[in-house]
Structure 1
């Protein structure tokens, strides 16, 4: 295996390493080609050249994309380090300041409505020299980006039975920031909005606003897919389908239906919407997780992790806004 790594980095071009990292992050050759502005055949040629240099297969081609082999995982870790070092050197040569306090953060959709801005505001107040670059993504993409070295930290959501976000090695380091039940967003003028919570039996026969393809329930790692309350013993009526949270909540405010939401959205709902917990039936718990690759955590990343934890704890106080 040592020979494989030495050969890969002796004979491989920097372009091939960049392409390989992009493929690992995107999960498919097509998506990597689009992101890089290459043709798919050009991406395939770069991967083939890297595999020839390594003397080993680095990717397992599957019907749903690609998966790293054992050799590919090792090459990826080294490729990410090489590309980052080259980019840092280029900035220095160009006379640009380095970014020793820069952290790259990924987050799932509903975390961006309140939690991430709240955490970044807190971090800016206590550590103004730290720069954060962030982006939204679905959980599988965020996990791949962590492993590709394109992200330092990622906020992801998890549903029972709370399995690891992937089966790759080494296992990601996971910190549970909070664990809370789901809630239901209802129009302020709806009869269900009169109380402090909702009985699960009163959710029968309601009209729902759901994410595309969500059917009835919210997924484990991509909260945009949430729709009708999970576990209803009826086929729910999906009146409207929208991926964007702002659109979903605007439809709720307009009286077009109800939608299931993570509790963290309570602080970010528009006027005309109440977010209420549900009593009765199985508890629908969701965990907010902070994931990263194993190893020592740089100080800037540790500061951001603390800010995210504090923001997560503070956000739960707003589960039932006035």
Structure 2
């Protein structure tokens, strides 16, 4: 085993593959060809004398040896970035917390928490990024995130089966709602019966990938008609306001609902609950991570009484 010849490029490529979950996605994020990524991974595995990534049909995940290398690689790359800042005359980032968040958290909860931290801890630096739950879990495992806001749906299984289990704290557990154009016949009542969702056009997630049907009411007994696809939740809500279809919405998005949209509960089927989780790797956390976690918990509590509505009187 000889790491003396491992390049920083190889370490950055290895981190990108671990975070993205596939060679293809890592290549796209770095602007490399897939073959270039494969060569870098092969080089670092030769240096390690072990397989660092388990190749699976649905992508890759870190092996036990890969987790060790990833942990050390993250420290090395962070130190190199800090050195570059010092050499360029920029101030050193003494207390930085790396936070990942799911898209719905970015509409209200995350800004509330960041505003509170700017007031209470102006010297604390939070670097954040948006992502889906599987991608954020991979980044936590790779050691490139300190905390992540994740979504969970019934039966509320752990976000992955890796060991050791992630430390999870439930910030909120609230019903899933339906966003309806204010001019739609379904908007006239204070709730929607699940039977009335048959034959409705839907605004869903991207046409492929892990969020393919996100936005469609779960458990429909028909193949849904997807009228529009969009990754961004605010784009979905604007399409609803324009009368283009229906979409699901979490309670945390209620404060960001635009005019022309009603947010209503759905009755007549299984209750659809959604949890917002705060996740981290097990082990002792530093004070900066603890302060950010506390701000996120407080922001979640502050938004707990935000009632659905919009485009008309609030639903009961």
Tell me by how many angstroms 1:8 deviates: 5.1
Q: 1:146 aligns with which of 136, 140, 163?
A: 140
Tell me by how many angstroms 1:225 deviates: 4.0
Q: What's 1:284 paired with?
A: 272
Q: Please, which moves more after superposition, 38-47 or 138-147?
A: 38-47
Deviations along 1:12-34, one digit per CA (max 9) or x if unpaired, are: 33333222222211222233233
Corresponding position: 1:314 with 2:308: no
CA-atom RMSD, angstroms?
2.4
Corresponding position: 1:133 with 2:121: no
- Scaled by the length of structure 1, what TM-score is found? 0.86
Tell me by how many angstroms 1:10 deviates: 4.7
How do residues 1-322 of structure 1 correspond to structure 2 at under 5 angstroms?
7=1, 9-213=3-207, 222=211, 225-321=213-309, 322=313
8 Å contact kept, 1:210–1:241: yes
Tell me by how many angstroms 1:53 deviates: 2.0
8 Å contact kept, 1:113–1:268: yes
Q: Please, which moves more after superposition, 59-68 or 257-266?
A: 59-68
- Scaled by the length of structure 2, what TM-score is found? 0.88
Deviations along 1:235-259, one digit per CA (max 9) or x if unpaired, are: 4433333332222212211223221
Paired residue secondary structure (1:49): helix
Paired residue secondary structure (2:305): helix
Instruction: Give the distance between the partners of 2:164 and 2:36, measured in 1 at CA.
Output: 30
Instruction: Give the distance between the partners of 1:310 and 1:225, measured in 2 at CA.
Output: 31
Distance 1:174 1:199, change over 3 A: same
Tell me by how many angstroms 1:201 deviates: 3.5
Q: Please, which moves more after superposition, 37-46 or 285-294?
A: 37-46
Paired residue secondary structure (1:257): coil
Paired residue secondary structure (1:154): strand
Instruction: Give the distance between the partners of 1:109 and 1:140, measured in 2 at CA.
Output: 13
Unpaired segments ≥5 residues, structure 1: 1-6
Distance 1:49 1:290, change over 3 A: same
Paired residue secondary structure (1:317): coil
Instruction: Give the distance between the partners of 1:141 and 1:25, measured in 2 at CA.
Output: 7
Instruction: Give the distance between the partners of 1:211 and 1:143, measured in 2 at CA.
Output: 20
Distance 1:256 1:52, change over 3 A: closer
8 Å contact kept, 1:185–1:276: yes
Deviations along 1:24-81, one digit per CA (max 9) or x if unpaired, are: 1122223323333333333333222222222212122233332222211222112212
